[in-house]
Amino acid sequence: MVASGTDPCTLSADMVPMHVTAAMDTVMEAAFYRHSVPVTFWKLMRWMNIGRERKLSGAEVVLRRFATDKINTRMASRSGTSSDILSHYINDPEYLDQDGEPGDLLRNTLINKMVALRDPIASALPWLIYNIATNPHALVGMRKELAPIAARKSNGGGTVIFGPEETGHLLYQRAALFESLRLYPPGLIEHKTALVDDVLPSGHKVHQGDNIFISVYSMGRMESLWGQDCRDFRPDRWITEDGSKLRHVPSYKFMPFNTGPRACIGKNIAVAQITAIAATIVWNFDVEVLEKCRVKPKLSVVLQMKNGLMVKVKKRASANASR
Ligand code: HEM
């Protein structure tokens, strides 16, 4: 929705066709692969049109067709009032060619945004649910904070739906999300290239063109940064001792949203969306991770679960749902 203004309708028969979502997966896997082999290697594969590069070419064709279709539909009904990203680009002359028609830049930018926006939330949410389901103290903390809001919204035992405006500011919900992102950041690695020769704060010299990889995943699990219990899921570490506010944690220590001028501009939207969805699940259901489900990360640019998250979901009895 945010990228193209089209509702992917993932719960209905009109959802974005599977071959489009599969193509997005292929792009992410190929991007990861390109980071793990020498540039000459994947360029040779591309030239020979074999292996992952061949798959990637096929995915590019699918995504280009899909994006062109979305752009043409939007151009035809250009109202100038929509707030999705595509509408902004369509209204920006830089993204149109001399005849005012959409060019490669617009199409490629849309594909980039579709791929980049779909995955982080879809990655963060299952890890959060997994962490809550396997850490009863976190579940208790979240429900305790939600109880007064649920009591106000009480609808005679039906499902209580929390909105972003109700949960986005709640301390414990945010703390649980940040703690989950610390351990399972959707973007595992930050990749930067030095524009000029420079010296890093650590004293390391870098030369123009050098690639610098920062493992956000490892940083979230370093004792020197987070203490001896760095591997534990403990939302309380984010909250001040008197419980009145979130602790200040510098963005260069906690980097799932990156830091500096290219930090994520969608952070607040992501927090609002995820906390509302997680609160609704946690309040209304007991979620039990199946013993046979071996939760493992999948190698890709975005930290997904290799086998998905298999859970048993049980509606909480309305008698319990007041605490
Ligand atoms: C849990 C969810 C999310 C995470 C972990 C996340 C993480 C990130 C990270 C790490 C970057 C920097 C990439 C880089 O240049 O190295 C980024 C950039 C960006 N994010 Fe997010 N993101 C999330 C959700 C969103 C959402 C929901 C939106 C839009 C509504 C969004 C919009 C953007 C945009 C437009 C940029 C590019 C900013 C720029 O380059 O100036 N993100 N995000």
| 18 vs 133: CA distance, rounded Å | 29
Residue whose CA lies nearest to ligand 1 atom number 9: 257
Q: What is the reported pLDDT for 319?
A: 42
Give the amino acid at 55. K
Q: Are 79 and 124 contained in the same domain? A: no
Residue-wise pLDDT for 152-195, tens only, equals 887 777 899 999 989 978 999 999 999 999 999 999 989 889 99
Q: Are 121 and 74 contained in the same domain? A: no
| 28 vs 45: CA distance, rounded Å | 17
Instruction: Report the DSSP beta bridge partners of residue 314.
Output: 286
Residue whose CA lies nearest to ligand 1 atom number 36: 264
The residue among 78, 102, 126 that closes a domain is 102
Residue whose CA lies nearest to ligand 1 atom number 23: 120
Mutate to test the pocket of ligand 1, among 35, 117, 216, 264 (most ligand atoms within 8 A of CB): 264
**In angstroms, what is the span from residue 265 Cα to ligand 1's centroid?**
6
**In angstroms, what is the span from residue 276 Cα to ligand 1's centroid?**
19
Q: Are 147 and 88 contained in the same domain? A: no
Q: Are 72 and 135 contained in the same domain? A: no
Instruction: Report the DSSP beta bridge partners of residue 246.
Output: 239
Residue-wise pLDDT for 79-121, tens only, equals 555 667 788 888 788 888 888 778 888 898 888 888 777 788 8
Phi and psi based region of residue 49 (left: phi greater than 0; alpha: psi -120 to 50; beta: remaining): left
Q: Are 139 and 260 contained in the same domain? A: yes
Of residues 293 and 183, which shows the higher confidence score?
183
Q: Are 89 and 178 contained in the same domain? A: no
The beta-strand segments (E) located in the chain are 189-193, 198-199, 205-206, 211-215, 285-289, 297-298, 304-305, 311-315
| 227 vs 230: CA distance, rounded Å | 5
The residue among 76, 102, 128 that closes a domain is 102
The DSSP line for 238-295 is GB-TTSSSBPP--TTTS-TT--GGGS-TTHHHHHHHHHHHHHHHHHHEEEEE-TT---
Residue 216 Cα: closest atom of ligand 1: 10
Q: Are 305 and 167 contained in the same domain? A: yes
Residue whose CA lies nearest to ligand 1 atom number 31: 266
Range of the domain at 141: 103-322
Which CATH number do you get for residue 222? 1.10.630.10
Residues contacting residue 204 through CB under 8 Å, at least 6 positions apart: none
Number of domains the chain contains: 2
* H or E segment and range at residue 28: helix 18-36
* Secondary structure string (H, E, C) spanning 161-183: CCCHHHHCCCHHHHHHHHHHHHH
Query: Which amino acids bring their CB within 6 angstroms of ligand 1?
Result: 2, 117, 120-121, 124, 186-187, 190, 256-258, 262, 264-266, 269-270
Q: Are 160 and 266 contained in the same domain? A: yes
Residue 192 Cα: closest atom of ligand 1: 16
**In angstroms, what is the span from residue 137 Cα to ligand 1's centroid?**
30
Farthest CA pair distance, the chain? 65
pLDDT over 80 at 5, yes or no: no
Which of 67-76, 122-131, 169-178, 248-257 shows the lowest per-residue confidence on average (mean pLDDT)?
67-76
Residue whose CA lies nearest to ligand 1 atom number 19: 264
